[in-house]
Chains A and B, each alone.
Chain A
């Protein structure tokens, strides 16, 4: 696009302009090429490093990648259903692999919740509780980080830095510390995910507050409302839909986070999954994968529907929510 012909017909002024234009296009292209080359070089270096550090080499292992899947076939497709709903298996030979019934969670004498579904309920509950706790604390904190509400720079600086630390703090360390104190269980996962949620939601929240319309606040100030009243009646009604929408997005992310934290000591479906894939229990593993897939799709769809009702249909900045 940079090539514009017929230079001979241009006036001297235009010719200079064209020359400068071409110069700039050239510089831009050189920079683009340099950046692309730089990124590619970094990529090649990084991949070599990764390959060298891995215990199995990429090229050597690639043809065998699906070998593990080949040996990972349940005896018949209904085995997956049986594993999912804790029905007795016809292949039961007393081993753990085909023992679906012993982990039933009984309510009363006859009614039971299948093991994996019970674990899934735990995982989802961990996510919801952490979202509520983290969201509430982030809500309380975010007003102190907003430039338009708090004049004291020191307060804002402190609140923002603590949010950043909470966001960046590795979740497994909190989970691990609490696991050492409280033994393995959901409390460690809840604490770890809540902590992260405060930081992640707090940042999104205070950005919403900073973009709020200050006219209602000004009106309240003119009739002598104090700081709390101004925030409660001037700011909160404006920002609440956005807050709820971000919180719902966070809930989606937290469901995924709680499965992962579960696998490193938080309990729930994540731990069961790690054990079953490690022990080569094919039917159980597929049952869990299907359950997780269905749950995540349902939660994503439901929260997407709620968010659309709350704040219309913005092209949501998914990456920002994930941060």
Chain B
């Protein structure tokens, strides 16, 4: 353990191999051998938030009020006050978000170990299936078929369900809210506990509003992704975009939420580091 004085003078001995790895990483990033893909939607007032029955509490959409813009309110500067919910826009779900994860240690945005904000992603392309069926459910069979092609999902990796849902730019089509509720894809109730128990996944990520399917309230275990993932201290990412730009394996995801005290989640700038195309 180093002292503050040692840290300040840089006198701590560092692992030279790790230092070389980081230097190589930066060199690759600067040279374009590692690309950065933004998986984040722009926070703007028109981006839909989840719709709950109107008598329940609601998540605020994004709003912004100008403080000044080089004018009499502040002659030399421009800035805004913004407001939104913890689950507005592209966002991270912490385990404390769900009742099943409420008593776990380190379950909130301010207490989750920071290492957990960096993890590999396995991207399961369900875009064709979701185009045919907005209620498409990811199954164990589908995952096993993916693994037959790309290898077993490694421990502590994100599972991202690519649905191309983010390409639905019309907000009504994006939410796809009909009279009997929301119709968007998600995992079924068997694959979620299986991913945790058999593959030790880090969490689950989607492009639609919610890590669960739109009709998941009607499952025998309602909202299985929220229920099981958070009960096991795993995480969620949702309303992501650009999943079609990621390789099936090998992307490194940076997803640090705002350090909100006892936060259940936060709008998050989700970035993916991916190898550049060969050649």
Query: Do chains A and B interact in one complex?
Result: no
B-side residues, CB < 8 A to A, are none
